[in-house]
Structures are given as structure tokens and as C-alpha cells.
Amino acid sequence: MKYAFPDNFWWGSASSALQTEGAREGETTWDYWFAREPNRFHNGVGPQQTSTFYQHWKTDIQLLKQLNHNSFRTSISWARLIPDGIGEVNPETVDFYHQVIDELNEQGITPFITLFHFDMPMAMQAIGGWENREVVDAYARYAQICFELFGDRVLHWFTFNEPIVPVEGGYLYDFHYPNVVDFRRAATVAYHTVLAHAKAVQAYRAGHYAGEIGIVLNLTPSYPRSQNPADVKAAHIADLMFNRSFLDPVLRGEYPADLVALLKAYDQLPACKPEDSALIAEGKIDLLGVNYYQPRRVKCRDSAVNPQAPFMPEWFFDNYDMPGRKMNPYRGWEIYAPGIYDILVNLRDNYGNPRCFISENGMGVENEQRFIENGQINDKYRIEFISEHLTWLHKGISEGCNCLGYHMWTFIDNWSWCNAYKNRYGFIQLDVETQQRTIKKSGEWFAATALNNSFEQE
Ligand code: BG6
């Protein structure tokens, strides 16, 4: 069967500044944390060792072209643009992003730009990061500066990439700096991130720019183990905490009432100001990026909560290891392609069918060298992964979902936070030592699919 996609469908991939650019001026929390605890990073490899996009951006854009990308998302690094977060703009950084954006446009690759992809300037973290409302204002100023500098040539902006991840990593589960475990502080960070998002949207609207503004959320559909009310409630609470805590404010302009009631009942609500709700209502977006990697399967708790333990989302559910689920063993994530369809249908039926696209989807695999055939990684598993997800995406579109494109994580194998280079996601293999780039089989498959705007499958 042939799966054809709508005209002007966005085919591309996503990456981020810190994961690709390489060592430069402007310290982030990652540089700071790595200098102190390199053991927290796979094989002790830190954010200095990247695919050197800062040097190789021009040839890398040629490779994007070879993969027939018509669009590409990367991020601007706040710390590199404004090293202390609030003061002078670094002119060299401005020149760099100007060149990248211009070259992408010249090559017919539409730039999609994210303003914050996990990379808090250390100077901002030193004053409390997202816990401090001054950082919210500093971010809004940074966003405005980016719109003024690049807003005439960038028509698709994203305020944040996966804003729930720094909340989970930094304030609940200890896999991002500042390694705090404290739900109330996590809720404050999440809340202030929504305020920062809304202020950036406000600034964008005030500037009357030609393009559109959105956010990228990692949506993990929550599936209950059974239809037993206790399992269903567990899935509902997981959905409120991990999806709707950002999805509702950015699409509906307000928080779900039952999320607010739940946090209130456990005295976990962040401090709010009376003017916040009007601001949040102004943060409604034009375009939603959906990152989808895995579903969340949950069941009601089997054991009582230890009341002395820190308050955590898991007070309300247990994770459910469904027998026989298909796993990506390297990342430990379930592979469940229908999830992409369920997300789109939920957006269509419950959120007014917003303009959206799949902004990340992908499969990280360890030791891909073992799949080299005639000098090229034959990553059949990745082609299978993509085509399976695309068939479900296609079904969503054919049933009226407003999905405008599909971007993969990622373009060239890149440095991946605490996992460093453990799992490789790229269409292009990177030799970290020599910086040599070699297109994988999946890159060729994707290039053909993008060119034809379709693919064939039995
Ligand atoms: C997404 C992020 O969560 O997944 C990326 O936007 C990240 O920055 C990617 O690299 C893959 O996840 P991981 O943890 O395997 O690197």
C-alpha cells in the first residue's frame, strides 16, 4: 500500500544547540554539572564533545539537503547569546545564528527555532533558575531579543522543548542539575516555565511578526492496565501531571481544575499572583510540536504510601510492565506506534484539532557499528520504527487530524545529556574522534520518502 502525505508536509529532523554545537563561551548548567560530577555522564563524556555544528554548520546543512529535508529544528542557546542571561548580547553568537538561519533558508530548508532546550545559563541557575520569577523576566527579554534579531527570517518559533523534562530531571528524579527531589519546588518550576512561555508569546504577538509561535511538548499517552476505576484514575492522574500540566495551559489558556484541586489537597501548589491567570490565557499557541517516544502504562498502587516519604507523582500510580510489550532495550522505552495516532485523536477531539506536527520521534540504539555492511550502518530497525509510526500518523491525518509534518530525532548522532553517546539516534553516523559523517540506510530511506512525499509498505 502507498502512504501519501498532504502537500507541503514538513519532512525533517530536530536537534538542539548544546547537543551539537560544541565548546563555546557561555556556561550552562550542563557545563557546570559536568565539571563537578563527570561520573554522572555515560563514559564521562560531557557537553564539550559534540558533532561540532559550530564549525561544520555549512557542510551539515548540505547533508540536510541530501536527506531532502524541507524543514529543520534546532535551538538558540540563551547562555551563548547572553552569557550572563540578562546583560550584553554576544555579537559572535548573533553572527553564527544569522549565518545558520540564512543558509537554511537559502537551501530551501525552513528553520524551526526553539528558544530553550534544557540549557539554562548557569548565571540564571545561580539565582534560582525557574524557581525565581526574575529568571522568567530574563527569559522573556531573551525571547524578545531573538524575535528582533531573527524574526524576519524565522517563521516558526517554539518557546520550550519538553518543558516537563527539566522539572522531572532537576526537581523530582535526579537526572538534571540541580538534582533536587521536592515536588513543591518542581511544581513552582513548572508553573514559572508556563509563565515564561506566556510572556514570550505575549512579546511575539506585540511585535506583529510574520510567523507563528508554539511550544514542543513530549506527550506520553497514559494507558491504564484495565478499565477498573482504580486503574483508570491512576492513568488520569499521570496524564494530568505529565501531559496536561503543560498541554492545557498552552492550548486552553488554563490549568485543568482537577490538577489544581489535587495539588491543593496535598499542599503542593506554587505561589500564584492574581495577574498570572490573564497572562497564562495570553500564552495560547499557534502551533504544537509533539515529541513522541513511548507511552506510559500505569496501574493503581499495590502498596500503601509511606507518609514519611517525599510527596511524588507515584503516590497515585505504579508503572505497569505490560507482558509482551515491544521494547527498545537500549533506552528501556516501549515502542508503541499507535500512541502517535492516539495523541492526534486526543488533540482533535478534546483540544479543537490544533495545528500540530510530530517534532520528535526516534529510536536510540547502542553499538550500531555491529550493523555496518559495506561501510554503512544498515539500521533496518529504525526504518521499521519510522514506517510503523508513519502509518499511524497517516491514519490520523486521513481521519482529519491537523498534523502538518514529521521530524525525527535526530539528524547526526549527537551528545545526549547523561547518556552522552550511549544510544545513537541519527540518520547520519558520527565518528566522534574523526568527526566523519556517514549516511545510514535510514537516512537514505527518509530522503526517498521526503522526496516522494510518500512511501510504500505491504
Ligand atoms: C528528547 C529530547 O527527549 O529525546 C532530546 O528533546 C533527547 O534532547 C532525545 O536527546 C533522546 O533522549 P535521550 O535521553 O535518549 O537522549
**Hey, CA dihedral for 303, 308, 309, 314, is it positive or negative?**
positive
Which of 366, 416, 422, 430 is the pocket-test mutation for ligand 1 (most atoms within 8 Å of CB)? 416
Contact yes or no for 418/434 (Cβ under 8 A):
no
Rounded distance between C-alpha atoms, residue 124 and residue 144, angstroms: 17
Q: Is the CB of 339 under 6 A from ligand 1?
A: no
pLDDT at 348: 99
pLDDT along the chain (458 residues), means of 10: 98 98 94 98 97 97 98 98 98 98 98 99 98 98 98 99 98 98 98 99 98 98 98 98 98 98 98 98 98 98 97 98 98 98 99 98 98 98 98 98 98 98 98 97 98 95
Q: Is the CB of 73 under 6 A from ligand 1?
A: no
Rounded distance between C-alpha atoms, residue 120 and residue 8, angstroms: 34
Q: What share of the chain is helix, strand, coil (3-state, %, to 5)?
A: 45, 20, 40
Contact yes or no for 444/452 (Cβ under 8 A):
no
Indicate if 360 belongs to the active site: yes
Non-local (6+) Cβ contacts of 373 within 8 A are none
Rounded distance between C-alpha atoms, residue 216 and residue 331, angstroms: 21
Rounded distance between C-alpha atoms, residue 338 and residue 207, angstroms: 40
**Which residues in 88-104 are b (16+ Cβ under 10 Å) and which e?**
eebeebbebbeebbebb
pLDDT at 458: 81
The C-alpha cell at 402 is 491537523
pLDDT at 340: 98
Which of 21, 290, 409 is the pocket-test mutation for ligand 1 (most atoms within 8 Å of CB)? 409
Q: Is the CB of 30 under 6 A from ligand 1?
A: no
Rounded distance between C-alpha atoms, residue 269 and residue 260, angstroms: 7
Q: What is the number of the ligand 1 atom nearest to the C-alpha of 118? A: 8
Which residue, 220, 234, 223, is CA-closest to 321?
223
pLDDT at 46: 97
Specify the pairing of strand 287-291 against strand 356-360: parallel
pLDDT at 24: 87
pLDDT at 254: 98
Q: Is the CB of 162 under 6 A from ligand 1?
A: yes
Q: Is the CB of 331 under 6 A from ligand 1?
A: yes
